[in-house]
Structure 1
Amino acid sequence: MRSIVFASGKGGVGKSTVTLNLGLTLAAAGKRVVVVDADLEMANIGILLGIDATPISLHNVLSGENEMQDAVYAGPNNMRYVPASLSPEKMERLDLDKLPSAIKKLDDSSDFVLIDCPPGLGPSAVAAIKSAKEIVIVSTPEPSALADALKVRALAERHGVKIVGVVLNMVLGDRSEIKKEDFETVMEVPIIGLLPEDVEVRRSAALQVPVIIRAPGTAFSRAMRLLASRLSGEKLAIQETKVKKGLFSSIMEFFGRIFGRK
């Protein structure tokens, strides 16, 4: 089993979107995948999937109320996921030291455990990074993101986590951006994926249907399949998922169910 944490030094680089869509892509190729939402303060995986609040989450595991296996749910493409709670009250009584052992309990049933790390370098991010054997740094080709990515690299090295590489997201390909080669030179880490800026990603987030499912032919989805093949080290035969019309609720209904509003 490969446990890989996806981390970024700053928010807004699309880390959760990358983690989830990569997990769905690997699962569509027949890999046994679990995506863990370890962003304990700003959980996003469930929202991106259009899933209502779940009865048991990673918060319950880290507070000692439940076992990790109790918090695993079935998702699209036979991918499984462990959600984090959207309730601010659940932040109390969390024992971050439990996270590595909780992740390890997924070993026997998974080929890949992909961990969505909180942005930044706070205690929750450190706990998520320490819980994985490998790390992929998600960034964008701009100076501030590069500076923060360097901090994440240093943190990973400090804790002995193998750095697989960097995924550059939201790439426009114009002169305003740091070139791939220059980014690699400064980071001293290979760029393993270039994901283009794609309007379908934003639309898919609004509709709460992952872009790899909703728009498999778009530029982002094609680049995601290349990333999945590179990360797995093999050419993957990926089955597309059919989406039924009317399957997902409106955004207002979704948040109304989560927060108990009609």
Structure 2
Amino acid sequence: MGKIISIVSGKGGTGKTTTTANLAVALGKLGKSVVAVDGDLTMANLSLVMGLDDASVTIHDVLIGTAEIKDAIYAIPDFENVHVIPAAIDWEHVMKADPRGLPSVIKPLKEQFDYVLIDCPAGLQVDAMSAMLSGEEVLLVTNPEISCMTDTMKVGIVLKRAGLAMLGFVLNRYGRSSNDIPPDAAEEVMEVPLLAVIPEDPAVREATLEGIPVVAYKPTSDGAKAFMALAQEIERISGFKARVMY
């Protein structure tokens, strides 16, 4: 039975989509079958980061009722063991799809894959909550700024009360400012385990522009190494062990 992990934050722009894409490819490198789901029904950036163009069937079509989930799963040939379920980018699909249907669509995927990673919208609105509550475990993503951390911590508290298991958090884009909150202080603020520090790395931005996660684009870069370390930690704690540890 696979694990379903909601990748969440309290603010937009923290790097949830980049984290989702790189974690998916990194887990694939570890031999795990993975599907990354674009749960952000209004922004839909995951397919761009994963290099998936012109998907004819999306999760919007599944929610609308014009397609089955199996038709929206795309294997990514360049990344071993990795699949993507994209979202549509046109407003007509956005208006028709009801995000409240996401849990019933996403949860059965754990029968097919070792890991189901959900790239969730930021915040606590209905669309974000529907995506986040489709998961069973939570990976928080924050930047090293106090406002970002406190907002993300609030989302984590809500999801923990809803019964999801807190895996921990990723401190993303660390080192871009001399005012960054250091990892040990960040862990005190977040009150959940720090799983990885992803450094500010030009290679990550370059990879995003190319539509190739950095773990594949430049695997020897600092950013890629940090994402691989995150995948190894997720593999270690995800599942039953995470629930009893945290």
Q: What is the TM-score normalised by the length of structure 1?
A: 0.86
Of 131, 135, 159, which aligns to 2:134? 131
Q: Note the residue ranges of structure 2 that are not aligned, 5 or more in a row.
A: 238-246
The answer on whether the counterparts of 1:33 and 1:111 sit within 8 Å (CA) in structure 2 is yes
The answer on whether the counterparts of 1:53 and 1:86 sit within 8 Å (CA) in structure 2 is no
- Aligned-pair CA distance for 1:96: 2.1
Letter in 1 for 2:107: K
2:112 aligned residue:
109
Letter in 2 for 1:88: W
Of 228, 232, 245, which aligns to 1:225? 228
Answering whether residue 33 of structure 2 is matched by residue 32 of structure 1, we say yes
- Return the alpha-carbon distance in structure 2 between the equivalents of residues 24 and 115 of structure 1: 14
Instruction: Indicate the SS of the match to 1:233.
Output: helix
Of 137, 156, 160, which aligns to 1:157? 160
- Return the alpha-carbon distance in structure 1 between the equivalents of residues 100 and 16 of structure 2: 23
2:14 aligned residue:
13
2:199 aligned residue:
196
1:246 aligned residue:
none
- Aligned-pair CA distance for 1:150: 1.7
2:93 aligned residue:
90
Alignment RMSD: 1.4
Letter in 2 for 1:61: V
The answer on whether the counterparts of 2:176 and 2:200 sit within 8 Å (CA) in structure 1 is no
Percentage identity across paired residues of the two chains: 38
Which runs of structure 2 are paired with 1:37-116 in the superposition (5 Å)? 37-75=38-76, 76-116=79-119
Structure 1 runs of 4+ with >4 Å offset = none
- Return the alpha-carbon distance in structure 1 between the equivalents of residues 176 and 157 of structure 2: 27
The answer on whether the counterparts of 2:7 and 2:141 sit within 8 Å (CA) in structure 1 is yes
Letter in 2 for 1:198: D
**In terms of mean alpha carbon deviation, does 145-154 or 17-26 score higher?**
145-154
The answer on whether the counterparts of 2:150 and 2:190 sit within 8 Å (CA) in structure 1 is no
Letter in 2 for 1:67: E
Letter in 1 for 2:157: A
The answer on whether the counterparts of 1:68 and 1:105 sit within 8 Å (CA) in structure 2 is no
The answer on whether the counterparts of 1:129 and 1:161 sit within 8 Å (CA) in structure 2 is no
Which runs of structure 2 are paired with 1:160-199 in the superposition (5 Å)? 160-172=163-175, 175-199=178-202
1:245 aligned residue:
none
1:259 aligned residue:
none
Instruction: Indicate the SS of the match to 1:106.
Output: helix
Letter in 1 for 2:143: T
The answer on whether the counterparts of 1:53 and 1:85 sit within 8 Å (CA) in structure 2 is no
The answer on whether the counterparts of 1:59 and 1:91 sit within 8 Å (CA) in structure 2 is yes
Instruction: Indicate the SS of the match to 1:77.
Output: coil
Q: What is the TM-score normalised by the length of structure 2?
A: 0.91
- Aligned-pair CA distance for 1:73: 0.4
- Return the alpha-carbon distance in structure 2 between the equivalents of residues 176 and 27 of structure 1: 35
- Return the alpha-carbon distance in structure 1 between the equivalents of residues 227 and 165 of structure 2: 22
Q: Note the residue ranges of structure 1 that are not aligned, 5 or more in a row.
A: 235-262
- Return the alpha-carbon distance in structure 1 between the equivalents of residues 150 and 232 of structure 2: 28
Partner deviation per Cα, 1:194-216 (whole Å, 9 max, x = no partner) = 10000011111112222111100
- Aligned-pair CA distance for 1:175: 4.5
The answer on whether the counterparts of 1:62 and 1:95 sit within 8 Å (CA) in structure 2 is yes
